[in-house]
Structure 1
Amino acid sequence: MTDALKRPTKTSRKRVRLAPQERQSLILDHTAEIVARDGVSTLSMDSISRQAGISKSLVYNYFPNVTDLLRQLLQREWRRLRRLQAEAAEKAETFEGLVRAVTHVYLKYIDERGLLIERLQAEPSVSAIHDPTEFGRDSAVDYLADIVADHFGLPTDIAKAATDISFGLPAAAGAYLLQRKMSRKELEDLTVTMILGTLNELKRDYTTRRQPIRRRRPQF
């Protein structure tokens, strides 16, 4: 019998070897799919291993339990969001452009990933941080406060307080967006207007209070 007539043998599927970091990332990706589709209650190491197409023991090699896995997934979501916001801020050419870019990125991310994030944060064992702006907040506030102080001519402490307080506005807009009570574009415009309006009013108030009193010499 010639080679051409030989019955082909069944070839086994080749196993793909991945770097540990890449494998860990893929496990998190598959977990995110389950949570977004079915919620957290149905999640188990078995369901994750089936979704990822790997053994349960391999999942345990990277994560000791489901809670740890979900915590790392939530932290990855916030790290990605902060990175995207930082990149958008670096590209902005005006202060209004910076506020709009950072707000746009935040609301877009919440629009696309908000259901996943909301379900993760609803689990007390997963997240001790119930305000998404808390993740990486200090460094972000310091960075933006320097810009606010320079742009509006405000003292550093006032600029930092105003920036820190304003940080909560996009988070509030994101929560509103998830309720689908207003379009993303309308919420973006509203949030940007509120932030800029507050800072401009603060500058005007601070400048007015510091102006010297102009006295006229009394007429006798």
Structure 2
Amino acid sequence: MTTSPATRGRSTRLPRDARRAQLLVAAQEVFVRSGYHSAAMDDIADQAGVSKPVLYQHFPSKLELYLALLDQHTEAMVSAVRQALASTTDNKQRVAATMAAYFEFVDRKGEPFRLVFESDLTNEAAVREKVDAVTARCAEAVAEVIREDTALPEDEANLLGVALTGMAQVTARYWMTTRGSIPRDAASRLIGQLSWRGLGGFPKTDGARADGATRDPASTLGEQPA
């Protein structure tokens, strides 16, 4: 008699970290497919091919399991934005890279963005805190770069950071609903161009450039280095 993948999985012993990772993958599939409220620990155990006691050994509750997934994917989102900002010193390319990071995130296998940006559990304080934090941290990372390169006050730089990351998030999620009409790279470039047309006009701050020359206070972020 042929056994199912789930049945075969129950007889496999894994190191604790590997088992935890397996359970998170299974839980993500169930949460994305069913939403938090409709998902059951039985469903997640079956998806992972383990018994419910094994699942509870690693995650004592469904909420704790969901929060672990949020931690994993919110950190990944923040890391992607920071890597994009650090990938170049050319501000136009920084904007393009940041937009691309959001579009890549919503296009990831398993649709983790649905847990981060489309959660059906935002009335839970612990979930709301993590969801709000990822938006704030990404916006702060962008604002930090804006402050470094412009003469804008901190509150204005922060507002621009929120605007840019908000645009990236909303447009990337919209793109997913029309996936196939515009290739991902083309879509992110289009939004990057729109963002840069606005941000590129802000004045650079006074001070020494990397090549030792003095910046013109009237120069803008859109000006290419000499």
1:148 aligns to 2:150 (yes or no): no
Distance 1:131-1:55 versus aligned 2 partners, 3 A rule:
closer
**TM-score, scaled relative to structure 1:** 0.70
Q: Which amino acid aligns with 1:74?
A: L
Deviation at 1:170, TM superposition (A): 0.5
Q: Which amino acid aligns with 1:16?
A: R
Contact residue 80 and residue 101 of structure 2 kept, 8 A:
yes
Q: Which sections of structure 2, spanning at least 5 residues, go unmatched? A: 1-9, 205-216, 219-226
Contact residue 143 and residue 157 of structure 2 kept, 8 A:
yes
Question: What is the DSSP-based 3-state SS (H/G/I as helix, E as strand, rest coil) of the residue aligned with 1:26?
Answer: helix
Among 66, 70, 87, the residue aligned to 2:66 = 70
Distance 1:81-1:150 versus aligned 2 partners, 3 A rule:
closer
Q: Deviations over 1:85-109 (max 9, x none)?
A: 2223222231112111121121111
**TM-score, scaled relative to structure 2:** 0.68
Question: What is the DSSP-based 3-state SS (H/G/I as helix, E as strand, rest coil) of the residue aligned with 1:93?
Answer: coil
1:34 aligns to 2:19 (yes or no): no
The total of aligned residue pairs comes to: 192
1:89 aligns to 2:85 (yes or no): yes
Q: Which moved more, 1:93-102 or 1:62-71?
A: 62-71
Match of 1:56 in 2: 52
Match of 1:100 in 2: 96
Q: Deviations over 1:96-127 (max 9, x none)?
A: 12111121121111023584543661344667
Q: Which amino acid aligns with 2:64?
A: D
Q: Which amino acid aligns with 1:178?
A: M
Contact residue 139 and residue 164 of structure 2 kept, 8 A:
no
Q: Which moved more, 1:108-117 or 1:172-181?
A: 108-117
Among 167, 170, 192, the residue aligned to 2:168 = 170
Q: Which moved more, 1:65-74 or 1:104-113?
A: 65-74
Match of 1:16 in 2: 13
Distance 1:17-1:200 versus aligned 2 partners, 3 A rule:
closer
The CA RMSD measured in Å over matched residues stands at 3.2
Q: Which amino acid aligns with 1:59?
A: L
- Between structure 1 and structure 2, the one with the greater Rg is 1
Contact residue 139 and residue 162 of structure 2 kept, 8 A:
yes
Alpha-carbon distance in structure 2 between the residues aligned to 1:162 and 1:152: 12
Deviation at 1:129, TM superposition (A): 3.5
Contact residue 23 and residue 55 of structure 2 kept, 8 A:
yes
Alpha-carbon distance in structure 2 between the residues aligned to 1:157 and 1:110: 29
Question: What is the DSSP-based 3-state SS (H/G/I as helix, E as strand, rest coil) of the residue aligned with 2:95?
Answer: helix
Contact residue 96 and residue 193 of structure 2 kept, 8 A:
no
Q: Which sections of structure 1, spanning at least 5 residues, go unmatched? A: 1-12, 209-220
Match of 1:43 in 2: 39
Deviation at 1:180, TM superposition (A): 0.6
Q: Which moved more, 1:179-188 or 1:102-111?
A: 179-188
